[in-house]
Amino acid sequence: MNTLNTTDFKHVAIIMDGNGRWAEQRGRPRLIGHQEGARRIKEIVRACPHLGVSHLTVFAFSTENWKRTQAEVAGLMSLFRRYIRKEMQDFMKEGVRVRFIGDRIRLDAKLRGLMDEVEELTQNNSRIHLTIALNYGGRDEVARASRRLAEQVALGRINPADVDETTLARFLDTCFLPDPDLVIRTSGEARISNFLLWQSAYAEYEFIDTYWPDFTKEIFSEVMQRFGKRDRRFGAVVA
């Protein structure tokens, strides 16, 4: 895999779609696909330094995913707990800082405890910043941020006249992250599914036909090579 020598990007966000369909095409239970997808994350994380990516955000479970069958949701929650336990030490050894975004209130206490533990364990790492979106939705995030901002205004700590885009951004789940440069969605679906709505205002998008369990570091490299050739103007006209 070639190393990309560019400073044009640093944050890639991925909608890891197609796990269930990958399993169904093989006559396997959908949860098997999610398990394979979870294994794929480590390979992509490890590829990031070679591709100039310092921040990787992955969409693991959306606020809308609670609508799936009770069995699938329970299986996913169990998978998240096992995944964090299994990978925690490897993330620490490899210099990966792990953080989570999303509303944790609905998640069970054991999972929340593991999330807190891995965040604390890896807090001094800086080689790769991995952010996992868990019970996350873009509209929900903006609503929660607006509520927290309104509370500060009501307490007299923020002047309403001073509220602007920068002010609201400080209350978003992603306040510690740069905006994504590139958003990738696997599985052939061409929609953003309520993911990083605020942050992706000027992100580039790449929709990949490959299901997430088959999204290799080689495919990732090809996507990044294509992205590196794009002309990003951020609304300006270049003379």
Q: What digits encode the pLDDT tens for the residues 131-167?
A: 999 999 999 999 999 999 999 999 999 999 999 999 9
What pLDDT is stored for residue 228 in this prediction?
A: 81
CATH number of the domain enclosing 95: 3.40.1180.10
pLDDT tens digits, 78-132: 999 999 999 999 999 999 999 999 999 999 999 999 999 999 999 999 999 999 9
Mean pLDDT for the stretch of residues 59-84: 96
Does 164 participate in catalysis according to the annotation? Answer: no
Asked if residue 164 is part of any domain, the answer here is no
Asked if residue 209 is part of any domain, the answer here is yes
The total number of structural domains that make up the chain: 1
Residues in the chain: 239
Asked if residue 157 is part of any domain, the answer here is no
Does 162 participate in catalysis according to the annotation? Answer: no
Asked if residue 6 is part of any domain, the answer here is no
d(CA 167, CA 176): 14
Asked if residue 200 is part of any domain, the answer here is yes
Asked if residue 149 is part of any domain, the answer here is no
pLDDT tens digits, 185-209: 999 999 999 999 999 999 999 999 9
Which entry of 5, 17, 209, 214 is annotated as an active-site residue? 17
Amino acid at 141: E
For residue 123, what are the domain limits? 11-139+179-227
What's the order of all strands across the beta sheet hosting 11-15? Answer: 96-101, 128-136, 55-62, 11-15, 182-185, 204-207
pLDDT tens digits, 215-231: 999 999 999 999 887 66
| pLDDT at residue 234 tops 60 | no
Which entry of 8, 65, 162, 179 is annotated as an active-site residue? 65
Please state, rounded to an integer, the average pLDDT across all residues of the chain. Answer: 93
| pLDDT at residue 173 tops 80 | yes
Q: Write the secondary structure of the chain as one string of H (helix), E (strand) and C (coil).
A: CCCCCCCCCCEEEEECCCHHHHHHHCCCCHHHHHHHHHHHHHHHHHHHHHHCCCEEEEEEEECCHHHCCHHHHHHHHHHHHHHHHHHHHHHHHCCEEEEEECCCCCCCHHHHHHHHHHHHHCCCCCCEEEEEEEEECHHHHHHHHHHHHHHHHHCCCCCHHHCCHHHHHCCCCCCCCCCCCEEEECCCCCCCCCCCCCCCCCCEEEECCCCHHHCCHHHHHHHHHHHCCCCCCCCCCCC
Asked if residue 237 is part of any domain, the answer here is no
